[in-house]
Chains A and B, each alone.
Chain A
């Protein structure tokens, strides 16, 4: 691009240039300072959170010996794995259907697919609560499905919002890919499935993985919808921690929070790296 032009005219000169830089630095500090403070104080050897009193790992020890926390981590992991797997398959199929085909009703489907992303959490939570309380009997015929213990309800509702996020990421990837490779494959008598398996899938893989990691993050972090559909004794970690931290600031809450934040950030960074790396690769082409 015409970067030389941009440099000279886009950036203000004199004092406002430094004002702009200072402002940007301050906003980044605003983004990260609270997180850093939280991390630092999770190692604080004091029950009072404000004053630094030396380094300790005790709170992390407490965390990993806490039975409730351990069982809720297990719930989170199960829900996350199942909901991500289903959402990735459905979301990728939806992305392909929207990006590679033209069919009747496509526009409407596209619009509905966006709704779970922009709908406020609370509304989605209420929808799932009302739905499961009204329709519990609908699912009785499915063998092995037990809506009472809440795990299935959590999976179903997490899939409902994660499909959309996966499909957005995969579509972004598909839109950057030229369909000519797929056409070439079918010219060479590859059937639909072979074309998908050998040509399309390898090319969209970064998008699929990026979308999957995003779904993992969203599923692990969800509080509102989960607190509406989870059953007593079957709460995922985020809901359990929400209950704890509403009561106030304690060292144990700090350490749980740091672990959750670290996990969430790790998945986010991985997702961004994978989809960005592939993004720059397709730009080069």
Chain B
């Protein structure tokens, strides 16, 4: 329905734009261009309106909430705007959670990079048929149910789970890592690893291998050719992948809820707690705004480093 051409003026613009290219009268051409621009805008309009109501306005409310007043009963009222919620961000409890989120997501990103880079490299040096198969193999977990994939680790890490049993059998000591920060990091790596593999693959696949050949001809060792040629050329993929892993890890909620104990909550968990239990809308919103800011900054870094799209 919205894909339909705007009624009324569309046919006029249509015939003119087609005629104009032959006649090439500047005035007519500009008019046709304008008609086409209007059509494009009208085509996008329903979506613009939808996202304005159900995305931009909600975003505005969260920002407004972060400056709002909390009544004694726990209601948030949009009056007497103040910075109290932001002042609370310096509290020990929030800072602890924020630092934990930060280091956990940094560690997760680094582990993902180490695991994903060789795999992405391997995939991009296969023949097209094998490559496509392997990519589908990476994409299936990428898109399938995140919650259940995380839960699968809970089954493995349970006190009588296979991983725990294996650890004890090999004599690595206590294999019980469930409800520790290690389990949360493991879950985050597992959940977000495909986010790292795919952009890395896209970057490495694009490399012009004759440059590597040139380096080798000039007596660069394999390692030197990698470090001086392949690695710099794959940088956009490294940045994109790191961003795609870092941002969701930083705001994670599901993974710590399933694999972490009470003390391993991340910022996502803290926000949920503020809204659903503590009934502190302003503080919950202020923390959300911080998470959003981190997301926007990472996205800007990504685009400035020459990234195009996901």
Residue ranges of A at the interface with B (Cβ–Cβ < 8 Å): 2-3, 5-13, 16, 20-21, 23-24, 27-28, 30-32, 34-35, 37-38, 41, 48-51, 89-94, 96-98, 100-106, 109, 112-123, 125-131, 134-135, 156-157, 159-160, 163, 167-168, 186-187, 191-193, 196, 214, 217, 220-221, 223-224, 228, 238, 241-242, 245-246, 249, 253-254, 257-258, 260-261, 264-265, 268-269, 271-272, 276, 280
Which B residues are in CB contact (< 8 Å) with A264? 143-145, 148
Residue of B nearest to A130 (CB): B61
Which B residues are in CB contact (< 8 Å) with A196? 3-5
Cross-chain contact B43 with A37 (CB below 8 angstroms): no
> Within the complex, what minimum Cβ distance (angstroms) separates A283 from chain B?
9
Cross-chain contact A120 with B37 (CB below 8 angstroms): no
A-B contact pairs, 17 of them (CB 8 A): A5-B210, A6-B125, A7-B125, A16-B222, A37-B155, A89-B1, A102-B37, A120-B268, A120-B291, A122-B267, A127-B58, A131-B58, A163-B51, A168-B310, A191-B14, A257-B148, A260-B147
Which B residues are in CB contact (< 8 Å) with A134? 61, 78
> Within the complex, what minimum Cβ distance (angstroms) separates A85 from chain B?
11
The residue from B37, B61, B118, B267 contacting A104, defined by CB atoms under 8 A apart: B37
Give 4 new A-B contacts, CB below 8 A, not counting A9-B225, A27-B119: A23-B119, A113-B47, A131-B54, A272-B140
A123-B292 CB under 8 A given contacts A50-B158, A245-B151: yes
> Within the complex, what minimum Cβ distance (angstroms) separates A138 from chain B?
9
**Max chain A Cβ within 10 angstroms of own Cβ: one of B37, B132, B147, B164:** B147
**Max chain B Cβ within 10 angstroms of own Cβ: one of A21, A96, A122, A163:** A122
Which B residues are in CB contact (< 8 Å) with A37? 152, 155-156, 162
Cross-chain contact A130 with B125 (CB below 8 angstroms): no
Give the interface size bracket for B toward A: 35 or more
Task: Let me know if B306 is at the binding interface, CB within 8 A.
Answer: no
> Within the complex, what minimum Cβ distance (angstroms) separates B234 from chain A?
12
Please report the C-alpha to C-alpha distance between residue A167 and residue B164 in the assembled complex, in whole angstroms.
Answer: 44
Which B residues are in CB contact (< 8 Å) with A121? 248, 251, 253-254, 268
Please report the C-alpha to C-alpha distance between residue A125 and residue B216 in the assembled complex, in whole angstroms.
Answer: 52
A interface, over-half SS: helix
Please report the C-alpha to C-alpha distance between residue A191 and residue B222 in the assembled complex, in whole angstroms.
Answer: 59
> Within the complex, what minimum Cβ distance (angstroms) separates A77 from chain B?
15
A253-B151 CB under 8 A given contacts A196-B4, A264-B145: yes
Which A residues are in CB contact (< 8 Å) with B121? 20
Please report the C-alpha to C-alpha distance between residue A109 and residue B41 in the assembled complex, in whole angstroms.
Answer: 10
Cross-chain contact A97 with B41 (CB below 8 angstroms): yes
A112-B51 CB under 8 A given contacts A127-B59, A192-B10, A192-B14: yes
Which B residues are in CB contact (< 8 Å) with A223? 146-147, 254
Which B residues are in CB contact (< 8 Å) with A49? 155, 158, 160-161
